Amino acid sequence: MLPDLRGHGKSFSDDFSNYFEAAASDVKDTMDKIDLESAHIVGCSLGGLIALFFAKMYGKRAKSLTISGVIPEKPENWSELQLIDNESISNLLENEEAVKHFNEKHMSDWKRFLLIGQSEDWYPFDVTKNVSDLKMPTLFLVGEGYNHEVKGALTYPAMNKNIHLAIIPFASHLVHIEQPHLYSMILERFLTEIHS
């Protein structure tokens, strides 16, 4: 099952309030609709945040959790990083070719969705900073090139014995795209090990 998150693909919902909770609830509702009691939950970047929210909200429905592209702690230079991201978003919205591409790719109001990320407090650090309550086997993958996520390699396993860690070389935030073979191989090994 590969659901499109709100603001993405064929999802038509333009309600972006309480985004993370609502998107996690969407995943649960989709599982209910197809009679799927539990599943291995995997998410990258924004999907990683939704997967983490899902695991915290509906823990018994997650056989396991695999996340990547998640920042555990608010970086000291978060304001500076936000300014860079906001500039990138502004440039994207001024690029007619890019806007046309995303209009064809997404059914919902993706522009309004992007603007959510312009608020400095959009990232749910209150949730990402604590994974001690996760009961399911969890795999946390990080790319060696993104220090803000690598910090979780030190903090997450120390918080919870259910968390397994993989640091992927020659990758940064989008490890599943930058090192797809390694990502898939590690994920497969994780799922095999927790079922053996």
pLDDT at 66 over 80: yes
pLDDT of 90-119, one tens digit each?
Answer: 999 999 999 999 889 888 888 888 888 788
- Residue 56: in which H helix or E strand, if any? helix 46-57
Q: Which residues neighbour 175 within 8 Å (Cβ) at sequence distance 6 or greater?
A: 44, 68, 69, 141, 142, 143, 168, 182, 183
Q: Is 105 exposed, middle or buried (0-12, 13-18, 19+ CB in 10 A)?
A: exposed
If pLDDT is split at 50, 70 and 90, which confidence band does 63 have? Answer: very high
For the chain, which domains are there?
19-195 (3.40.50.1820)
For residues 104 and 112, the answer to whether their CB atoms sit within 8 Å is no
Q: What is the mean pLDDT of the chain?
A: 92
pLDDT score of 9: 83
Q: How confident is the model at residue 120 (pLDDT cuts 50, 70, 90)?
A: confident
